[in-house]
Amino acid sequence: MKRVLIALIPFLVLACESAPGKKEEPAAPATKEVVNPAENVPSERKEVKTEPVASYRVKTDDPLNDFFFGVELYETKKTFHYLMKLEFETIDGKDTLRLPNFGTMPEPVIKKGPEKFSAIIGFMDKDKQFREYKKVYVVGNKLKVTALKHYGVSTYQP
């Protein structure tokens, strides 16, 4: 019986081996396409509006003068950058607002802040929910701008 098994081993080996000259190549891994929604929005605007895209303005308590606290946002050539013009009585200021690129056109919004002379600057997300971003407010006779939240965008391959 031992001799029969030993005689069958070469036949088993040959039967399990693939056909001669025909070697199987390993299958190439399927390439997964990385989808980056941020590429849907151009990085520069074709037309820049001259009027403010968002504004907030309230009269101050000065009985002698016609003073205001105000914030206005203006478009710039870059799609996600806005010029902020700030005003409090005789103080004027400028700053740049950089919104994150979530793959949709930015929609900046300014709302009244918790203090009398404050405003919350943010944007509408894809679900039309307001996302607060920065706060403009007055301390003493100074205009201040503070970041309330930070946002980031990343892409990953599932």
Confidence (pLDDT) at 71: 97
Q: Among the residues of 1-143, which ranges form H helices?
A: 2-16
Q: Is the pTM of this model over 0.75?
A: no
Q: Which of 101, 158, 97 is nearest to 126 (CA)?
A: 101
Of the two residues 119 and 61, the one the predictor is more confident about is 119
Confidence (pLDDT) at 57: 95
pLDDT bracket for residue 26 (50, 70, 90): low
Cβ neighbours of 114 (radius 10 Å): 8
**What is the maximum alpha-carbon separation in the chain?**
119
